[in-house]
Structure 1
Amino acid sequence: MQLNVIERLPAQPGGHPPVVFLHGLFGRARNMGFLQRQVSRTHRTLALDLRNHGDSPHGPMDYPTMVDDVVETLRAHEALPAIVIGHSMGGKLAMILALQYPELVAGLLIGDMAPARTGYGQAALGEAMLHVHFPDQLDRQQADQLLARTIPNRSVRDLMLQNVRLGTEPGWQIGLQDIVNAMPNIENWPYMPEGYVYDGPTLFLRGEHSPYISRDHEPVMRRLFPHFRLETVPDAGHWLHADNPRVFSDHMLAFIESI
């Protein structure tokens, strides 16, 4: 499946590898816009809407299928090998892409995700979203009031509002049922046989207040990504690139410059 892509080009091409952005669960390519604009000053950048998200097609999903989507899309855009930056679910996808196709990944930056099973309530949120009853017509203010009954957290609700189709035929724009069906796969870490290693430069950035990367994860991170570095973004939770964009951006740009 070819995915929807937002592409930005530098004013003067410099022969650098392209940089690819992979968003998290319930996100979309444009969520990475601030980071993409920073990088596109010097590099060709491509932000992808993953399967069932944004303006990309819908269908059954698991990580091997999503890896195939990303590879097919980037090959069609002649954007390989690339530096890959992924957040949350997109970070897990980026890790699996690098382990399966190390020759296609020039560098790997993972935002607040470990190579491990995760959860933290996303399955329950997806199930609740399925039971939202949409009226015959909806504007943004009405959509915000409607989702507030199910999603009281303001920042989470703002993320979900971007996935609502407004107007006279309101509903979820995303492939919500496919996402919910796939949640056990999304939260899991697929079995990787011995020998799967990404030997390239790898940077993990964790949010200071996030539980997604812990010391218990470091041995498997070291086995799969032997050249990894782990840095902490202060004053940030799981959405570390939104909570502290300056520090995240500083780490990101320094990492890309080093490749």
Structure 2
Amino acid sequence: MAPPAGRPARWWRGDRGAWHGSHRGSWQRVRGAAARDGQRGVAGLPGGGHRRAGGPRARWPRRPAHLGRPTRADRRATPGDRLQPRYARPNEAIAPGAADPMPVHVDDLVALLRALGAAPAHLVGNSWGAFICLLTALRYPHVVHSLVLEEPPLLPLVLGSGARPQPAVLARALRRRPRATLAVLAFGLRTSAPMAWAYGRGDVQRALRIFARGVLGRQALARLTPQRRQQMRDSAAELQAEFRAGFPPLAESQVRDVRVPTLLLTGERSPTVVRALSEWLADLLPDVEQVVVPGASHLVHEDAPAFVNDAVLGFVTRR
């Protein structure tokens, strides 16, 4: 059966499926979705910090029946079969003391999409990966057809970029978005500052625990399986490298310039800071839909995989 109009006809499939379980960083496998003429690829980017781990993945429903059986082209070996960042397994780990800035991964993603002939693509990202998707749409708008963003940590809207908050940016944010600004400041006091203290003492695992509690919340953290917790511990060095790099500059005016259709997915039980930033983002984007995912925290696609899968496929189909 031929797919309906507007539905991608071919899927690039990774060896472990689409949503590789991670919290803050690795590229997800390309779950594909390119039309037979090579357009409209779908690339997924989860959050970072777990890129060395090969642990569990969130479970997506099976390939929709109306897409038909995978063709030989679907199973061919391409870079999309293992769409990962440069420090993910089986690649070498990041060097001790190195930083892992986002723009490097933006350039990697764009180079891969071009090599696969998959641009313009639908980009799907979680957390750190969602920020990378947004930056890609800003810097390379011609390679992005649409965005699906799960709670990107848009801290530069409140703090600016650099090692210290920029007073002018902070004052403007406090006037315009007091709830989000206060939530970011509270996150800094309860999470970012204690993480910096732990890193200063050389205790990367303590920093990881502080981070996980801050972005997931205590209840969601308590639900993680032992295997999932080990996956996080195995990626502590990558999280530290991301923390060391910080965030690139991002202003409200830049976000308003994003012209591609965007779906925002926000967990019903996510911490206040990420929900407030998602609401701010929804107000800035000119073409946006926002969906609150019932019962989910910051690991939106892991907490409600079937709901997220339906939302993403429905959005991609309409766009």
What is the TM-score of this pair, normalised by structure 2? 0.57
Q: Which amino acid aligns with 2:228?
A: L
Q: Which amino acid aligns with 2:274?
A: I
Any gaps of 5 or more consecutive residues in structure 1? 133-151, 165-171
Q: Which amino acid aligns with 2:266?
A: R
Task: Please give the residue correspondences for 1:85-234 in structure 2 after superposition, counting only pairs within 5 Å.
Answer: 85-116=124-155, 121=191, 124=195, 127-129=203-205, 153=222, 155=224, 157-162=226-231, 172=234, 176-177=236-237, 179-186=239-246, 188=247, 190-192=249-251, 194-195=253-254, 197-211=257-271, 212-215=273-276, 217-223=278-284, 225-234=285-294
Any gaps of 5 or more consecutive residues in structure 2? 1-25, 75-79, 157-183, 209-220
CA distance in 1, matches of 2:304, 2:143: 30
Q: Which residue matches 1:24?
A: 47
Secondary structure of residue in 2 paired with 1:230: strand
CA distance in 1, matches of 2:65, 2:154: 28
- Residues 52 and 36 of structure 1: CA distance in aligned 2, closer, same or farther (over 3 Å): farther
CA distance in 1, matches of 2:305, 2:266: 13
What is the RMSD of the two structures over their aligned residues, measured on CA atoms? 4.0
| Residue 159 (structure 1) shift | 2.8
More helix per residue:
2
In the alignment of these two chains, the number of paired residues is 227
Q: Which moved more, 1:242-251 or 1:34-43?
A: 34-43
| Residue 130 (structure 1) shift | 8.3
Task: Please give the residue correspondences for 1:68-79 in structure 2 after superposition, counting only pairs within 5 Å.
Answer: 68-79=107-118
What is the TM-score of this pair, normalised by structure 1? 0.68
Cα deviations across residues 111-150 of structure 1 (Å, max 9, x unaligned)? 1335335767488498433899xxxxxxxxxxxxxxxxxx
C-alpha contact 1:208 1:235 (8 A) present in aligned 2: yes
Q: Which amino acid aligns with 1:222?
A: D
- Residues 22 and 12 of structure 1: CA distance in aligned 2, closer, same or farther (over 3 Å): closer
**Pick aligned residue for 1:250 from 299, 310, 319:** 310
CA distance in 2, matches of 1:208, 1:88: 15
CA distance in 1, matches of 2:122, 2:43: 6
Q: Which amino acid aligns with 1:24?
A: G
